Amino acid sequence: MPRTRPVSRDEAPPEIADIYDAWFGPGRDPVAEPGTATGTPGDWWTTWARAPDVLRAMRAYPYREAPVDPRLREVALMRAGYARASQFVFSQHCKAARREGVDEAKIAAVPCWTLADGVFSPVERAVLAYVDGMMLEAGRVHDRVFAALRDHLSDEEILVLTYLVNLYGMHAISSKALRMEYDNVPERIVEIPAPEDGGVQDWRDPKWSGPAASAAASP
């Protein structure tokens, strides 16, 4: 379960029930019967349904109709998800990229794009560098990166791409903060107490995840 209480179909106002019908199937309660076609729990929708005005705002711009090459868009959004360390955003946009015809070699190389010689086109490399400037350097985009971007994209395309990358960066951050979808995971950085009998402590042991880790590490 995410950190905030999701909205069941019984609680949902008509506009949310219509979204549930479209996304999960007619009449289905996605809280009682979680799961989407791509294998996620689907609690992104049921969580944000508690703030329907926000959900409506996030759905207002039809990103698939955005005036930018959809393959370029998905390369950018994959990188945004990866750079923001969101398993949910990265994984979902790998699938979206595949649907748009992005090569498997490019999907596989997004995490290490700077070393992927011969994989990405000049415009893709410019877009990836632009995404990194926004996601990893808080918008500090070097003049040479922006000049490379302008060699290939119009002002309108750059503006739309800027919006979409930041929108999905926000999705990534909120998904982790609220522990939704594939980002519903225990805290990774915890103290692993020293073993009582010597040897190497197995930090992968589930007992060191979440509240149990804090309790175990206490003197």
Higher pLDDT, 23 or 206: 23
Mean pLDDT of 29-47: 95
Is residue 197 scored above 90 in pLDDT? no
Q: Output the pLDDT for position 209.
A: 65
Stated pTM of the model = 0.89
> Any long-range contacts for 112-120 (C-beta under 8 Å, 24+ apart)?
113/79, 120/75
Looking at residue 196, its pLDDT comes to: 79
> What are the structure tokens assigned to 79, written together?
């990188």
The per-residue pLDDT for range 123-137, each reduced to its tens digit, is 999 999 999 999 999
pLDDT of residue 98: 98
Domain ranges of the chain: 14-59, 67-177
Distance, CA of 9 to CA of 27 (rounded, Å): 8
Position 88 pLDDT exceeds 70: yes
- How many angstroms separate the first and last alpha carbons of the chain? 31
**Which one is predicted more confidently, 77 or 210?**
77
For 2, residues 6+ apart whose C-beta sits below 8 A from its C-beta are: 43, 47, 178, 179, 180, 184
Separation CA 36–CA 44 (nearest Å): 11
pLDDT exceeds 60 at position 216: no
pLDDT of 213 higher than 80: no
Percent of the chain with pLDDT over 70: 93
Helix and strand tally (H, E) in the chain?
10, 0
Domain spanning 67-177: CATH superfamily: AhpD-like (1.20.1290.10)
